[in-house]
Amino acid sequence: MTSSASEGLVLRDGPALPPLSHFKLAAFDMDSTLISIECIDEIAALAGKGQEVAAITEAAMRGEITDFRDSLRRRLAILAGVPATVLDRVLAERLNFNPGARELCTALKAAGLKLVLVSGGFTFFTRFVAAELGMDFVRSNELEIADGALTGRVVMQDWGDICDGEQKRLMLLQSCESIGCRPDQAMAVGDGANDLPMMGAAGLSVAYHAKPKVREQARIAINEGGLDRLLELIRP
- Tell me the catalytic residues: 29, 31
User: In angstroms, rounded to a whole number, what is the distance separating the alpha carbons of residues 32 and 129?
Assistant: 13
Q: Quote the Cα angle for 115-120-125, to 5°.
A: 70
Residue count (the chain): 236
**19 SS3 class:** coil
User: In angstroms, rounded to a whole number, what is the distance separating the alpha carbons of residues 111 and 98?
Assistant: 21
Question: Which residues, other chains included, contact 55 with Cβ-Cβ below 8 Å and sequence gap of 6+?
Answer: none
Question: Which residues, other chains included, contact 68 with Cβ-Cβ below 8 Å and sequence gap of 6+?
Answer: 60, 120, 162, 164, 165, 193, 194
Question: Which residues, other chains included, contact 166 with Cβ-Cβ below 8 Å and sequence gap of 6+?
Answer: 197
Nearest C-alpha neighbor of 120 from the set 48, 176, 82, 171: 171
User: Is residue 40 within 8 Å of residue 121, measured between CB atoms?
Assistant: yes
Nearest C-alpha neighbor of 155 from the set 116, 128, 123: 123
User: In angstroms, rounded to a whole number, what is the distance separating the alpha carbons of residues 82 and 44?
Assistant: 9
